[in-house]
Amino acid sequence: MTDPSLAAALEKADGTLDASLARLFELLRIPSISAQPAHAADCARAAEWLRAELSTLGFAAKVCPTPGHPMVVAHDAADETDMRPHVLFYGHYDVQPTDPDTLWDAPAFDPYEKTLEDGRRVIVGRGTADDKGQLMTFLEACRAWRSVSGRLPVRVTVLIEGEEESGGANLLPFLKAHAEELRADIALICDTGMADVRTPGITTGLRGLVGEEIRITCATHDLHSGLYGNAARNPIELLCRALASVRDGQGRVTLPGFYDGVRVPDEATRAAWRRLYPDDSGLLAPVGLSVAAGEDGFSAIEQTWCRPSFEINGISGGYEGDGFKTVLPSRAMAKVSFRTVPGQDPQAIRDAFRAHVRALLPADATVSFASHGASTGFAVPEDGPFLPAALQALTDEWQVPAVTIGSGGSIPVVAEVEEALGMASLMIGFGQADDRMHSPNEKYDMQSFHKGIRSWIRVMAALAQARRPA
């Protein structure tokens, strides 16, 4: 029973897909890497591109400076008689670094289309899946609605930040400072994945992130490993000892108190997840793995959706170049992170990790730590009218029942929007497990882009029909 204007908007989106893709490619070509100061001007360019784009879509759009990269804020015209549900759409224009560049098939900011061996058509480039392809599905849905109706089904405010990949320290202060302007009935975020290539999902669980950098120093300078080897303390060896002992041989973190506050999901939830993912190969096989490496007793999906974990993200020390060098280095470094679940205390975890390392250090070793963020896991409340309405809209588009799913990843804005604006979020995304986010040759399925636009067209109409909360 499709509303004729809905049908028209969907038809419009289908008919202008090439132009939508061209607009996405323009945004993809801007190397907006927020973690690298050399690309600060590119981040500003991306913000300006979005401001101009939103303006053509009929928004009152502006670029707002922050101590870091700017925010883009856009408002849909509305007066006090406007009864439409009000949504805040959030996305981020910044992208991950591209290293190692040698592993990309083509330059990371030169997007192109390609057909995979299984026949899927994809768009390749940094930011295609995270987050530019995704956020453009929403903007293109707005374009389609504006084109056939002149007016969006829901009242839309747009917030696009530029530091999600590099800690996002300026987001919470910005939300608080602009709360009146940004508050809405519900937040919409397009930065997550589908349950599988056929099954749309709304993400209702996220993990948090505690990031740490650790540096161990022994001798005052690099030493000759013959003249000093055995007598001089080796910081790489100490680092290996500290990191290797954070988890035991069964994938469990050994830090005291680490699992305090962690609850196992109820059996109904675990059963629902088992129906979605009957075995570990769904997650692991596409990346060349076969055995879930986390705690015994939990499936691979459970290990990433509802169990906290420890990862070593990078390690460095001594001679790393070609050939060999008989050096006994003065220092060694690692970057590590803990993924947290609801109920854990990120600061206590950081303290326990630092205590663990310090306790292992012998004489002649000093350690310094640097913090890279601290958040706990988040569970989105599943009550209210918007979630079921959105699920139905997705089901209508994909012709497969949409499901609620978890995620191993962290999206800080969800907790921050709740803290600063008192709002819940709907995380509706069209990413796939093999998108290679954060890796070389990142891609986004053309089907995700096209049906993602159509999905948002439907979701906006469905939210407009949902009972607006009192």
Identify residues 16-45 at the interface with its own copies (CB under 8 A).
35-37
Near its own copies in 65-94, by CB under 8 A: none
Piece of 118-126, 281-289, 387-395, 415-423 that binds its own copies (CB under 8 A): 281-289
Near its own copies in 297-336, by CB under 8 A: 300-301, 303-304, 307-309, 311-329, 332-335
CB-CB contact of 220 with 330 (8 Å): yes
The number of CA neighbours under 13 Å toward the Cβ of 134 is 29
342 or 388: whose CB is closer to its own copies?
342
Residue 271: CB minimum distance to its own copies, A:
19
Integer Cα distance of 469 and 86 in angstroms = 11
Cα separation, 341 vs 466, whole angstroms? 31
Q: How many CB atoms lie within 10 A of CB 100?
A: 9
**Among residues 280 and 418, whose Cβ is nearest to its own copies?**
280
Question: What residues from 220 to 249 belong to the interface with its own copies (CB under 8 A)?
Answer: 220-234, 236-237, 239-241, 243-245, 247
Nearer to its own copies, 40 or 78 (CB): 40
Residue 416: CB minimum distance to its own copies, A: 17
* CA 433 to the chain's CA centroid: 13
Smaller CB distance to its own copies: residue 35 or 52? Answer: 35
DSSP letters for 133-146: HHHHHHHHHHHHHH
Residue whose CB is less far from its own copies, 216 or 420 = 216
CA–CA separation, 47 and 64 (whole Å): 9
Report the b/e string of 285-309 with b at 16+ CB within 10 A.
eeeeeeebebbeebbbbbbbbbbbb
Amino acid letter, residue 193? G
Minimum distance of its own copies from residue 64's CB (angstroms) = 23
In the numeric block, the tokens 């928004």 are attached to: 59
Q: How far is the CB of 211 from its own copies (least distance, A)?
A: 5
Footprint (CB under 8 A) of its own copies, residues 105-164: none
Nearer to its own copies, 107 or 408 (CB): 408
Shortest CB 120 distance to its own copies, Å: 17
Tell me which of 23, 51, 69, 339 binds its own copies, using CB under 8 A: 339
- The distance of closest approach from Cβ of residue 437 to its own copies in the complex, given in angstroms and rounded to an integer, is 5
Nearer to its own copies, 60 or 197 (CB): 197
Q: Which strands make up the sheet holding 112-115, listed edge to edge?
A: 112-115, 121-124, 443-445
Stretch that binds its own copies, among 15-23, 113-121, 206-214, 394-402 (CB under 8 A): 206-214
Binding of its own copies by 359 (CB under 8 A): no
Q: Smallest distance, Å, CB 320 to its own copies?
A: 4
Among 31, 153, 205, 211, binds its own copies (CB under 8 A): 211
Torsion of CA 313, 318, 322, 323, to 10 degrees: -130
| Binding piece for its own copies, criterion CB under 8 A, among 39-47, 107-115, 213-221, 444-452 | 213-221
Whole-angstrom distance, CA of residue 331 vs CA of residue 219: 8
Amino acid at 196: D
Binding-residue total with its own copies (CB under 8 A): 101
Look at phi and psi of residue 409 and say left if phi exceeds 0, alpha if psi is from -120 to 50, else beta.
beta
Which lies closer to its own copies via its Cβ, residue 167 or residue 385?
167
Residues 6+ away with beta carbon under 8 Å from 464 = 84, 85, 153, 154
Q: Is 99 in the site for its own copies (CB under 8 A)?
A: yes
How many C-beta neighbours within 10 Å does residue 420 have? 20
Q: Which is nearer to its own copies, 11 or 248 (CB)?
A: 248
CA dist 335 to 141, 247, 262, 314, Å? 40, 16, 24, 5
Q: Using the minimum distance from each CB to its own copies, give the nearer residue, 246 or 352.
A: 246
> Counting contacts by CB under 8 A, is residue 167 touching its own copies?
yes
